[in-house]
Amino acid sequence: MCSVLRFQRNMASWVKRHVFTFDLGDIQEKRGSDSGSGQSRSTADRYFNAVFGLGLLLFCIVCMAYLSPFLGSDLPQCRSVTMYPSYALVQGFDRRFSRLGRKYHLYLYREAGKDNGFSDDNEIHLDGIPVLFIPGNAGTYKQVRSIAAATANLYYGEMRDALNNNNTKNLDFFTADFNEDFTAFHGRTMLDQAEYCNDAIRYILSIYELSDKYRASGEPLPTSVLVVGHSMGGIVARVMTTLKNHIPQSINTILTLSSPHSTAPATFDGDILKIYNAMNAFWESKFRDRDKDPFYAENVSVISITGGVLDSVLPADYTSLEGIIPSDNGFTTYTTTIPWVWTPIDHLAIVWCDQLRIVVAKLLLELVDRTSASKTRPLPDRMRLARRSLLSGLESSASADFHLWDNEDYIFQPKVAPGALTTAQEMSPILLNVETYDTLNEYNYLAIPHNEPNLRFSLLTSLENLEELHILFCQNYNEHNSNGPIEYSSRCVSPSQDFIHVPRSFENSKYPSESSVGSASLPFKALHFNQTLLSKYDFIKFRKPSKSSFKDEDFVLVELSTTDWQTTVNCNPFQLLLSSAKFAHNASSAPFIQTFRFPYLSSSLVSYKLDVSYTGENLVFEPFIAQSIDSPFETKWHLRLRDSVTITIHSEAPFIPFESHYDKSVKLRLIAPPDCNINLSLSINWYMTLKFLFIRYRLAVAALPLSLVSFVLANQFALYYSSSFFPDFSTTLRAVTSKFWLKLTLSSILLTPILNISFIQRLIHSLDPSGVNSPFLIRKKNIMTAAYYLGIREIFMCWIGPLLSCITLSLVYMLAFGISTLESCVRRVSCYMSTAISKTRMKEIWLKDECEYEEGLVLRRRIGSGIMILAVVLYVPYQLVFVLLFLVQLNTVIKLNINYFNTKRHSNLRNYNSSYLLLMLCVLPINAPMVFVFLHNFGRRWVTSFRSHHNCLAILPIILLVCDNAGLRIPRSHCIERISKLITIGSFLYLSLYSVIYGIRNLFWAHHLVNLISGWLLFTSLDLTSNN
């Protein structure tokens, strides 16, 4: 017992010396200074005003940056679409086949004039391949229409012959109607949707078993369904495979559009985080333990498509599959990367953007195989088709998919004399256009040197018809003749299937999408082969096209180069703070496709500005740049380089796991015409950097203010316990700022490197009370992740902590000022409306040492508390009750100001209730999304099981404390043990620390901590020795 008492005394002494050293006199002096007119402000006030002004200025700049439009390649360039949609309700799929058949519905999409409609028996006889579309958060089933219509138009139209699939077939698009449920906010809703979709797949497959057309065709019945998911619909598709009602092997192809695979976009509901944790662990185990269940590793493919910077609903970084799906089974790509699209797309437009829907429709028709029971091609073929359709072709891994590796469609040519071969050192790039046409030989032979590590072959052309372009890669071949001597010839193959498309870049070109699919202009075509592929061949034969195929601006540029094609620029963000990084392209010594690699620029949080200047007259095309990252596959094309170019990347992002052995370098691939020298300068674009902070740290708006409010409350209670005076929030915030702000700022900087230490990460993970973070990411050695604090790994980004701290201070002070303004207005109105009699009566009540409760009011509060507890247990989620309690607390604060008296007891009550109201206000955004879910379901007359949200213990302490506050009681400052005081102060400090370290990714748990603190405050407000 003595040791316990000694510990309490030592702890209290340490807190008094090191934590709360400003005293009540300072605060009272500040209050007097604030109320007096003409008095000079103290140094502390000036310091606070400076920090507040800085935070307010930064907040305004961030908001202005966020609202400012994008420029250049980041501008939206989607074209509108037309279709003739019709939706047939699948009436047979009801509660007999799914318990959710009354809440959700299933529709079959039919493109009018294309797809088979109703027959004479008023039914639709299906004969295609089934596809299930799953809408996202608050999405509608009608969002399927764009892609489904494009698929029907492509299959039944004139472009069907362009499909690279002889076994393709029309697609039957089914779409789920979830009544625009809020999937992102409620885990139970997500599980319901996944369960319903599994039941829907079972029913869809049974429909084909009854189809007369299918039986007549002799084709195998489908055993699986292709799944296309938008936003959270893509997550529902992956959750489906983890449920008990999932039909094994019924899903082998998942295509997602703007789906947050790597992490949950909202952390208001703990069930969502648990589902993500279980889902990612399930998928990771399926690919890891392929010996037990080889189906996933050998058959399942997941493709994630995201719109990039224009997606303002969720950060595009969240769509990454890295660390979850192996590269042989899936990848993430950006719409700026996809050939024939080349434009960023916002979150909603990604389902209807004309350029993208045509590419997706073509890909779906090429992935299917009507001769297979799974109705899809084998996994290697699907992945190869997906990479060829959705990647730029310039990635370091793209060469593995070139047909030139295994092309056996040989064309035998006569032997070429050694004198006819031109070496790479002897030749300059071959430029063929209208002006140089007559100066070039009809046949040109380029000898391929061996043992040249920098060997590259590049070709760029604007010709519309590639059949006019005759180019062959040849091997010396000895043909054995049984009737005579050996005849020497050449065995050649054509690279016609390996051409890639790149945006058109002439003087009048503005945006990459101007040459996208459906545009009046056609893109450039290119070949780019490395030394590994070229080593299979001995020479290249190039025959110039006919002169009639050339228009005035058309050209063909061919180059076989042994010059180092990649230049490494070793600059880091710290160096770019002081000066820009300068580099250049020398046309006389560098290949016309030159890559500048930046190994130390990998943060998604930093944007850059690229200034370009170049010389040259009568250029055959305007130079352009392909900005790229290999993982995830993001390529962005920049035209009109004379204007400043904004570089935004999606590489290492906050809270997103990534594989450490992947190259995360930013690469700028410059494509320049001959005789064009280019100077480039790279610097940080601070305005665009601030623009992207908002989208990536929106959840910090709830976490960080709660941390600061909790810290101020800890100081308020420390002063209250030492002096029996509870100071007001704004004055305490000023005192806290003057004493602790430099320490807090330094801590916000140091937390980033400290929390990136592996040991500290494991320690923090073990101390996490919520237990919903993904532990398998920590177990994997090659996976890097930063799940705590701001999720930052780069030391350079430490400045974000102080910046958000300043903004947080400004926001909290404005909230406190808003409450103070409300109180002042109430007092002014009350001063005019109250009668002298009521004032006298209330004054007599307030001057009493103990508040005398009227029995009627006490009874009503008890009945109200009981009703709220019963409602939580039986029907409503506790989040809705929290909103009601916030209104009750607001009413208490208003009543305390209606009858205002300048007494110590009244001042304590008013300041305490105002501070607690501010605490509830910080928790309100955490609970509000669940209220929206409940009200949405209530409007649909559907009762969704909330399970953990019906736990009355999660709200009971707050109910009792708010009712206690309404009874005009306050936690005692006297006759209370010292350890109890330390628990009160320590609990608020823990809430403050938790909100900083865990808060952004575990917002839901902050409510439970506030609930526990409320229970403790209720306990300390009880006088156990009193009969009341």
Instruction: Give DSSP secondary structure letters for 235-301.
Output: HHHHHHTTSTTPPTTS--EEEEES---SS-S--S-HHHHHHHHHHHHHHHHHHH-TTT-THHHHH-E
Query: What gap in Å lies between CA 404 and CA 408, rounded to an integer?
Result: 9
Where helices occur in 446-583 by DSSP H, the ranges are 531-534, 573-578
pLDDT at 144: 96
Q: How far apart are CA 552 and CA 267, in angstroms?
A: 58
The CATH architecture annotation of domain 85-390 reads 3-Layer(aba) Sandwich (3.40)
Residue corresponding to tokens 């209807």: 352
What pLDDT score does 32 carry? 46
Rounded to the nearest angstrom, the gap between the alpha carbon of residue 462 and the centroid of all alpha carbons in its chain is 37
DSSP state of 310: G
Q: What is the pLDDT of residue 97?
A: 93
Would you say 191 and 269 are in contact if contact means Cβ atoms under 8 Å apart? no
Domain ranges within the chain, ordered by starting residue:
85-390, 404-561, 566-694, 698-1021
The candidate with the shortest Cα–Cα distance to 506, out of 340, 320, 641, is 641
Q: Which two tokens stand for residue 24?
A: 């009540």
Rounded mean pLDDT for each run of 10 residues along the chain, 1028 residues in total: 46 47 49 44 78 93 91 90 91 90 93 75 80 95 95 90 89 94 90 96 92 82 95 96 95 96 90 90 87 90 95 91 90 95 95 95 95 94 94 86 82 76 71 88 86 88 88 80 62 90 93 91 92 89 88 91 88 90 90 93 92 88 93 91 90 81 86 92 93 88 94 94 90 90 91 87 85 58 74 89 94 94 85 58 48 59 83 87 94 84 82 95 93 84 65 90 87 80 93 94 92 93 57
Q: Give the number of other CB atoms < 10 A from CB of residue 586.
A: 11
* Cα–Cα dist 433/440, whole Å: 10
Asked if residue 326 has a cis previous peptide bond (ω within 30° of 0), the answer is: no
Sign for the pseudo-dihedral over CA of 493, 496, 501, 505: positive
Rounded-to-integer distance, Cα 946 and Cα 932, Å:
13
Amino acid at position 665, single letter = S
Q: Return the sign of the alpha-carbon dihedral for residues 401, 406, 407, 413.
A: positive
CA dist., res. 389 & res. 378, Å (int): 17
Q: DSSP letter at 952?
A: G
Structure-block tokens of residue 663: 């190259």
- Say whether 566-694 and 85-390 share the same fold: no
Q: What is the pLDDT of residue 876?
A: 87
Which pLDDT does position 945 carry in this prediction? 58
Please tell me the distance from the alpha carbon of residue 309 to that of residue 347, in angstroms, as a whole number: 10
- Which among 638, 562, 799, 588 has a CA at the least distance from the CA of 58? 799
CA gap 968, 896 in Å, rounded: 9
231: annotated active-site residue = yes
pLDDT of residue 34: 44
* SS3 of 755-819: CCCHHHHHHHHHCCCCCCCCHHHHHCCCEECCCCCCCCCCHHHHHHHHHHHHHHHHHHHHHHHHH
Please state, as a whole number, how many other Cβ atoms lie within 10 Å of the Cβ of residue 773: 20
**pLDDT at position 732:** 92
Of 1.10.860, 2.60.40, 1.10.150, 2.60.120, the CATH number of 566-694 is 2.60.120
pLDDT of 373 reads: 92
Cα atoms in the 13 Å half-sphere on the side-chain side of 795: 6
Q: Specify the pLDDT at position 995.
A: 94
73, 98, 224, 231: the catalytic one is: 231
- Which residue type is seen at 851? C
The three state secondary structure string of 43-81 is HHHHHHHHHHHHHHHHHHHHHHHHHCCCCHHHCCCCCCC
Instruction: Look at the block and give the residue holding tokens 């297979």.
Output: 372
